[in-house]
C-alpha cells in the first residue's frame, strides 16, 4: 500500500496549484527571469576562505545539485542564499530581490531545510508549524498547517512532542516547515540525512512537486545519483570555487564523483603543505 503522502504529492504534481507559492502579492508581481542570480560571491571566516568568486544563475522551475567534499563551501553557499550569512563580496539576488536591501522579502519566498530541524523539541509538530505560520503571516494558517503535515505523512504524530520523534520523523516535519509558505526557492542542505527509504521517496516527490509548481530547488548533497536525477544542473564546489558546472543531462555519476574526489585530493595535499 502506498503511503498517503505519495498520493497527495502525486495530486500536487498533477495539479501544480497545490504546491505553488503563498508569497505576498508584492512578491508575486516581482517576477524577474532568474530565481537565483549570484555574482562574484566571496565569504571568509577569519583567514579561511569558504567561498571564492562564485557565480550562479538558476531559472524558475529548475533544480540545481551542489556537490563537493566536506568543507568545499556547499553549506556556506546555501546559508548565504538564505540570508543567514552576509557575504564579504558579490551580489545575491533571489527572485530579483537584493540580499543587502531586501533580505526580509527574500526570507518570505525561500524555504530551507538544513542540518538542524529548526523545530522546538517541547512543542508538537502541529504547534511548531502554527508558530511558523504566524511568523510568516500566512492566511488560512490552520488549513496550510494540516495540509503540510499531510504532505509529509506527519499527521499521525502531529500531537506528539518533537523530542520523542525519530530523526527521520523530525526531518519530515522540517520539510513540512520549509514548505509551509509555499516558497518560490527551496534550499536543501544535505536533506537526505536521517531519512529512511520512505523518507527519501518523499523527498524526491517534494522536489519534483515543487519544481512542477514553478519554484526552483537548490540541493547540496553527497548522493550523486539522487542529485543528478532530481536536478537539471549540477555544480561541483572545491575550496569555495566552482570547479565544474554542467547540465545533468550532459554528465554522469562517475564524472561527478571523479571531480569531487580529484578536488578532495588536491585540497588535502594543499592543506598538508600549508
Residues that bind another protein (CB under 8 A): 79, 82-86, 104-105, 107-108, 110, 112, 114-123, 127, 131-132, 134-137, 177
C-alpha cell at 247: 547540465
Output Rg (C-alpha) for the chain, integer angstroms: 18
Q: Which of 68/114 has CB closer to another protein?
A: 114
Least Cβ distance, residue 88 to another protein (angstroms) = 12
Q: Which of 30/131 has CB closer to another protein?
A: 131
Q: Which of 168/198 has CB closer to another protein?
A: 168
User: Is 185 within 8 Å of 83 (Cβ atoms)?
Assistant: no
Q: Which of 82/216 has CB closer to another protein?
A: 82
Identify each DSSP E strand in the chain by its residue range: 34-45, 48-59, 63-67, 89-94, 97-98, 110-113, 185-189, 216-220, 233-238, 241-247
DSSP 261: H
Q: Which of 112/157 has CB closer to another protein?
A: 112
Least Cβ distance, residue 109 to another protein (angstroms) = 8
Least Cβ distance, residue 122 to another protein (angstroms) = 5
User: Is 200 within 8 Å of 30 (Cβ atoms)?
Assistant: no
Least Cβ distance, residue 157 to another protein (angstroms) = 17
User: Is 65 within 8 Å of 248 (Cβ atoms)?
Assistant: yes
Cβ within 8 Å of residue 110, ≥6 positions away: 81, 82, 83, 94, 183, 184, 185, 186, 187
To which residue does cell 537584493 refer? 98
Least Cβ distance, residue 198 to another protein (angstroms) = 24
Q: Which of 46/197 has CB closer to another protein?
A: 46
Least Cβ distance, residue 179 to another protein (angstroms) = 13
Amino acid at each position: 500500500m502506498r503511503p498517503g503522502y505519495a498520493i497527495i504529492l502525486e495530486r500536487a504534481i498533477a495539479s501544480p496549484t497545490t504546491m505553488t507559492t503563498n508569497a505576498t502579492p508584492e512578491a508575486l508581481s516581482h517576477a524577474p527571469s532568474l530565481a537565483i542570480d549570484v555574482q562574484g560571491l566571496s565569504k571568509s571566516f577569519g583567514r579561511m576562505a569558504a567561498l571564492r568568486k562564485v557565480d550562479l544563475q538558476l531559472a524558475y522551475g529548475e533544480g540545481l545539485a551542489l556537490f563537493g567534499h566536506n568543507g568545499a563551501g556547499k553549506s556556506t553557499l546555501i546559508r548565504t542564499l538564505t540570508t543567514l550569512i552576509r557575504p564579504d563580496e558579490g551580489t545575491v539576488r533571489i527572485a530579483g530581490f537584493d540580499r543587502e536591501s531586501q533580505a526580509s522579502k527574500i526570507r518570505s519566498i525561500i524555504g530551507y531545510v538544513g542540518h538542524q530541524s529548526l523545530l522546538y523539541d517541547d512543542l508538537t509538530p502541529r504547534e511548531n508549524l502554527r508558530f511558523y505560520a504566524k511568523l510568516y503571516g500566512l492566511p488560512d494558517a490552520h488549513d496550510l498547517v494540516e495540509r503540510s503535515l499531510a504532505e509529509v505523512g506527519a499527521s499521525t504524530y502531529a500531537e506528539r512532542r518533537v523530542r520523542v520523534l525519530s530523526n527521520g520523523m523530525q526531518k519530515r516535519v522540517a520539510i513540512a516547515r520549509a514548505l509551509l509558505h509555499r516558497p518560490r526557492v527551496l534550499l536543501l542542505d544535505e536533506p537526505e540525512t536521517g531519512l529512511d527509504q520512505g523518507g527519501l521517496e518523499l523527498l524526491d516527490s517534494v522536489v519534483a512537486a515543487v519544481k512542477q509548481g514553478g519554484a526552483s530547488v537548490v540541493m547540496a548533497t553527497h548522493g550523486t545519483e539522487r542529485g543528478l536525477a532530481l536536478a537539471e544542473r549540477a555544480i561541483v564546489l572545491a575550496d569555495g570555487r566552482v570547479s565544474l558546472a554542467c547540465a545533468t543531462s550532459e554528465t554522469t555519476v562517475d564524472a561527478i564523483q571523479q571531480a569531487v574526489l580529484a578536488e578532495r585530493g588536491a585540497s588535502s595535499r594543499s592543506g598538508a603543505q600549508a
